[in-house]
Amino acid sequence: MEINSFGDLYKITTSKNLVEYLQNLGMLKSNFPCKNCRQTCFLQTDSNNTIINTTFYCPNCKNTFSVLDGSFFESAKMPVSNILHLMWMWACEINTESAAQSMGMKKNIVVEQFRSFRGVIRWKLSQNKKLLQLGGPGHVVQIDKILLIRLRTKNNEVKQKLVISMYDTTTKKGYVQQIYNKTPGEATSIVEL
């Protein structure tokens, strides 16, 4: 099953379907050996588990284990289906206020979840530096330094962010990075000539 629209998420009607979908994506483990006896565990419905309603069950020693262990959802405090809905909204760039209203959640919860998604993307990109590499022999890279200003009318506070953007016109890939230390040295250290 592919999720190509927000409506497709509603086709996942049971926890079993949700677990199987996430296993097919590689987001949850498909096979789980019991931590005690190493026997293969099976999926079992668990109505006490409000996050996903499913656990791994060992038929040999009768222990149960979370299907979320070792996954992105391991520390989830809300149902996994809600996290997927929020993930879809985040990917579609729906603002936090609209997402909160649509999901019937407090805005601060949605803001925190969106922050978590950004953190995962940031981590994944930092793991593969080649994804961020631009330029090379015969390539033209356009570089701009931009100062973003945001005015807050409540207490007349002005927020400034300095970002550097780079775009490789050959590969059609771009990259934007915020510069926290506003010295010229940091801006040039990002670009290797």
Closest by CA position to 17, among listed 50, 65, 53, 48: 53
Q: How confident is residue 143, by pLDDT bands cut at 50, 70 and 90?
A: confident
Q: Is the pTM of this model over 0.85?
A: no
CB atoms within 10 A of CB 34: 19
pLDDT at 175 over 90: no
Closest by CA position to 162, among listed 142, 137, 184, 136: 184
Residue 7: the pLDDT is 63
pLDDT at 110 over 80: yes
Residue 66: the pLDDT is 87
* Mean model confidence pLDDT for the chain: 80
Strands 54-57 and 42-45, by their bridges, are antiparallel
Structural contact between residues 57 and 45, judged by C-beta atoms closer than 8 angstroms: no
> What number is the average pLDDT over the span 126-143?
77
Closest by CA position to 165, among listed 139, 133, 142: 142
